[in-house]
């Protein structure tokens, strides 16, 4: 391999790493823009956070009542998102509602969705402890 070929290979490696870093930065920027809109009280439309899945680690007690008049259990938790295979905190100290009539179990990984008001709602009861 010539010196020129070695330099080209090194540059290609640097370019690939830069592309990954740029993709992660763009994902974080999008998440921060969503958080900014949520804190400003803006409406996200019918889909809340546009279908993105977020995760929390928590222990919820059972909600009370019966459908459709359920009173959720509510907690303040850090919310995480998958950023290129790494769970990254994107909403610190967010309000999370639990509408399930059964408790979550201790320290479960719970998928949540973003509500129009900037809070989150659990969308599934996970069996996975973390």
**pLDDT tens, position by position, 103-120:** 988 888 999 999 989 999
Give the span between the Cα atoms of 130 and 127, in whole angstroms.
10
Structure tokens at 53: 């899945």
Higher pLDDT: 52 or 19? It is 19
129, pLDDT greater than 70:
no
Q: Is the pLDDT of residue 51 over 80?
A: no
- Give the 3-state secondary structure of residue 83: strand
Token digits of residue 74: 């509510």
Residue 107 is predicted with a pLDDT of 87
Instruction: Report the pLDDT value the prediction gives residue 37, as an integer from 0 to 100.
Output: 62
C-alpha distance from residue 70 to each of 32, 106, 118 (Å): 31, 22, 20
The better pLDDT of the pair 58, 48 is held by 58
Q: Output helix, strand, coil percentages for the chain, rounded to the nearest 5.
A: 30, 35, 35
**98 touches 60 (CB < 8 A):** yes
pLDDT the model gives residue 42: 38
What are 62-119's pLDDT values in tens digits?
Answer: 999 999 999 999 999 999 998 888 899 999 999 999 999 999 888 889 999 999 899 9
Mean pLDDT of the chain: 82
Q: How many angstroms separate the first and last alpha carbons of the chain?
A: 48
| Distance separating alpha carbons of residues 73 and 71, to the nearest angstrom | 7
- Tokens coding 66: 């019966």
Q: Which residues pair with 122 in a beta bridge?
A: 112
């Amino acid at each position: 391999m010539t010196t020129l070929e070695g330099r080209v290979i090194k540059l290609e490696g640097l370019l690939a790493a830069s592309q990954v870093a740029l993709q992660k930065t763009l994902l974080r920027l999008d998440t921060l823009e969503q958080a900014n809109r949520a804190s400003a009280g803006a409406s996200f439309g019918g889909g809340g956070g546009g279908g993105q899945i977020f995760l929390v680690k928590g222990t919820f007690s059972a909600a009370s009542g019966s459908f459709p008049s359920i009173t959720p259990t509510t907690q303040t938790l850090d919310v995480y998102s998958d950023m290129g295979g790494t769970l990254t905190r994107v909403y610190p100290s967010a309000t999370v509602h639990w509408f399930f009539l059964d408790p979550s179990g201790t320290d479960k990984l719970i998928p949540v969705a973003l509500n129009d008001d900037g809070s989150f709602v659990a969308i599934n009861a996970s069996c996975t402890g973390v």
